[in-house]
Amino acid sequence: MVSKCDPSFFVYKDKGHIIYILVYVDDIIITGNSNVIIQQLTTKLDSNFSLKQLGKLDYFLGIEIKSVADGIILLTQSKYIRDLLQKTKMAEAQFISSPKTANCKLTKVDLDFFSNPSLYRSVVGALQYTTITRPELSYAVNKVCQFMAHPMDSDWTAVKHILSYLKGFIRHGLHFNVAPSS
């Protein structure tokens, strides 16, 4: 069955077994609660396509997958964020404890246009991607997204504030408890 939310996400259910398949261009993740069915599916796919099995999942589309304890995995974007901090010359930024500053008022009526709107859009787009594993950024990133058409210097200051926050919490992410497979 194809997911209604994502046409590249497939779910197979049969007799209490469930298999999830995520396809992105030529990368595929297959997981589920039955190693036997996963192996059968992988064998069938390999007979029709040339598969290169990379083993245990540890990195996918900029998302790092780490086993941090028995049955617990952590999804982070540490490398992606480090690269973003390098791109924006914020790698040495002083860390800030909140992604949104209380005294930064963003407005569309400012006259100090940011000198590099392409950079602004690129960085804000990258920040949107970080919200996959960092949902606490959603509000602050949503606010700076509202000024993509004509960013102001104050908007860029808000973006740098978010980046400074990320600098201090670069290894944070989402924790998931994983049920053992059969």
Q: Which residue has the higher pLDDT, 180 or 61?
A: 61
Q: What b-and-e string marks burial along 111-131, b requiring 16 or more CB atoms within 10 Å of the CB? A: eeebeebeebeebbebbebbb
Residue 68 lies in a domain: no
Neighbours of 34 (CB within 10 A): 18
Specify whether 45 is located in the same domain as 110.
no
Residue 15 lies in domain: 1-55
| Same-domain pairing of 84 and 137 | yes
Domains: count for the chain: 2
21: tokens are 């398949």
Instruction: Examine the pLDDT at 182 and tell me if it is beyond 60.
Output: no
Mean of the per-residue pLDDT values for the chain? 89
Residue 12 placed within a domain? yes
Note whether 156 and 96 are same-domain residues: yes
- 46 and 87 in a single domain? The answer is no
pTM reported for the whole predicted model: 0.79
For residue 151, pLDDT beyond 70? yes
Inter-residue contact 138 to 131 (CB < 8 Å): yes
Q: With cut-offs at 50, 70 and 90, classify the pLDDT of residue 181.
A: low
Q: 89 and 10: one domain?
A: no
Residue with tokens 């000024």: 147
Report d(CA 14, CA 32) in Å as an integer: 12
Both tokens assigned to 169: 């919490």
Place 106 in a pLDDT band, splitting at 50, 70 and 90: low
